[in-house]
Amino acid sequence: MDCSSREPPPKALIRSDMWFPDGNIVLIADCAAFKVHRGQLERHSDVFHDLFSIPQPPDETLVDGCPWVELYDRPSDLYHLLIALYDGLYFVNDVAVDFALVSSVLRLSTKYFIEHLRKRCIARLARDWPTSLAEWDRREDDLTHTLGYYGPLKILPHPILIIQLALELNLDAFLPSAFYDLSRYSPSKVFAGTRGPPPIFSTEGDPRGQRVRLSDKYLCQTFVGRECAQTYIHTFLEVELRTRSSPSAYCLNAGRSNAVHCSESFYSIHLNTLRSVGGIAAGRDADPLYTLLQALEMMERTDFSDGVSECGLKLCPMCKADFTEIVKKARLDVWELIPEWFGLRGQTSVEGMD
């Protein structure tokens, strides 16, 4: 930066809420100005320390009696970072509400090497975009109402926003769960995109938030992944339920008059899994992890009918144990296959967002 010939500060500056009378440095992002304390920023970031150490020209125009530095950051991002540095970083709301704070602080704490804030933001995102099946199941349980209603939209940010942030900051670990989550939306909703967080300053564009859509490349990856997920569950139902020649090699009913009970039970599981249409009624379309869990839970249900009254399935203990292990393995397989389905093996590129 050639300080001897730089342009004067913009005349129409908007004073932000971060404007301290005793501040000794003014940060300018676009038309937003922040009068803060140089030492507070230098204490947390060597980048700020080096930036403020650049000599200023002797005839430098001051802003409110202070030297100024122009930063090429979004004003809202800088506002959230400064709030975090002065007041601390607290997540008191659902991430859908706090996403503007999390994404802004993560973006600039990465840029300015403020590691403690960066770690806090990554840890917060990891709670809802996990990297293990056990954590995914915990997430899904947390998002399911006691009455069975599944409602992530009011609690979590749209997965497209997570994909955008992960691609921008090379946070590859969040991509598999975000793409998988997105693939459960209807294709029309995936194509329509979503809106980003509303900006704080009027100069930042649409007050409702910028419209964010996936590029053709990532739309294609999403739909291919969705097709792979649907193909997997179709194959599982065919192999493990519809065409199963015998319930289990260790079936306790084999060779007995009630041997038909286990076969009929697996037929019922197959039929009722198909009727659930992959979780559409529960708001989980194209979700093999959930569909497999449904198939497992059917063994414990007591609302089937034998033509006279409601009852449970008449599976023998060995068939139950055998099918339980098959489903558990299948769910682990699905989790391991997600990166491959969505073309994320070795994903490091930051291209792909409009």
CATH code for the domain of 185: 3.30.710.10
Pairing between strand 32-36 and 194-195? unpaired
Whether residue 350 is predicted with pLDDT greater than 60 in this model: the reply is no
* Residues 96, 245 share a domain: no
Specify the range with the lowest mean pLDDT, choosing from 2-16, 25-39, 105-119, 222-236.
2-16
Average confidence (pLDDT) over 145-163: 79
Say if residue 94 is in the same domain as residue 58.
yes
97 domain residue, yes or no: yes
Claim to verify: residue 176 and residue 259 sit in the same structural domain: no
Selected residue with higher pLDDT from 214 and 311: 214
pLDDT in tens, 249-281: 767 777 676 667 777 777 777 777 776 654 555
CB-based burial, 15-34: b 16+ in 10 Å, e otherwise: ebebeeeebebbbbbbbbbb
262 found inside a domain: yes
Domain count, the chain: 2
CA atoms within 13 A on the CB side of 5: 1
Residue 247 within a domain? yes
Is 350 a domain residue? no
Residue 304 has pLDDT above 90, yes or no: no
**Domain assignment of residue 220, yes or no:** no
Residue 318 structure tokens: 């060995």
Confidence (pLDDT) at 143: 84
Asked if residue 135 and residue 38 are part of one domain, the reply reads: yes
Residue 3 lies in a domain: no
For residue 334, what are the domain limits?
Answer: 233-342
State the virtual CA torsion across 233, 221, 155, 134 in degrees, nearest 10. 50
For 159-213, how does the pLDDT look when each residue is reduced to its tens digit (9 = 90+)?
A: 999 999 999 999 999 999 999 999 999 899 999 999 998 888 878 877 788 899 9
166 falls within a domain: yes
User: Which of 348 and 46 is assigned the larger pLDDT?
Assistant: 46
Q: How far apart are CA 338 and CA 308, in angstroms?
A: 43
Last residue of a domain, one of 159, 186, 214: 214
- Alpha-carbon distance of 311 to 350, in angstroms, equals 54
In this structure, the answer to whether residues 156 and 203 fall within a common structural domain is: yes
Inter-residue long-range contacts of 42-49, CB under 8 Å, 24+ positions, other chains counted: 44/85, 44/114, 44/116, 44/117, 45/112, 45/113, 45/114, 46/113, 47/111, 47/112, 47/113, 48/112
- pLDDT for 63: 93
Query: Are residue 97 and residue 201 in the same domain, yes or no?
Result: yes
Is the pTM of the predicted complex or chain greater than 0.85? yes
Query: In Å, how far from its chain's centre is CA 165?
Result: 10
Confidence bin at 298 (pLDDT 50/70/90): confident
Residues 195 and 254 in one domain: no
Q: Which tokens hold the place of 136?
A: 């995914």
Q: Which of 214, 246, 279 is the last residue of a domain?
A: 214
7 domain residue, yes or no: no
Indicate whether 114 and 251 sit together in one domain: no
Residue 48 shares a structural domain with residue 191 = yes
Domain boundary among 154, 185, 214: 214
Q: Are residues 147 and 289 in the same domain?
A: no
Percent of the chain at pLDDT above 70? 82
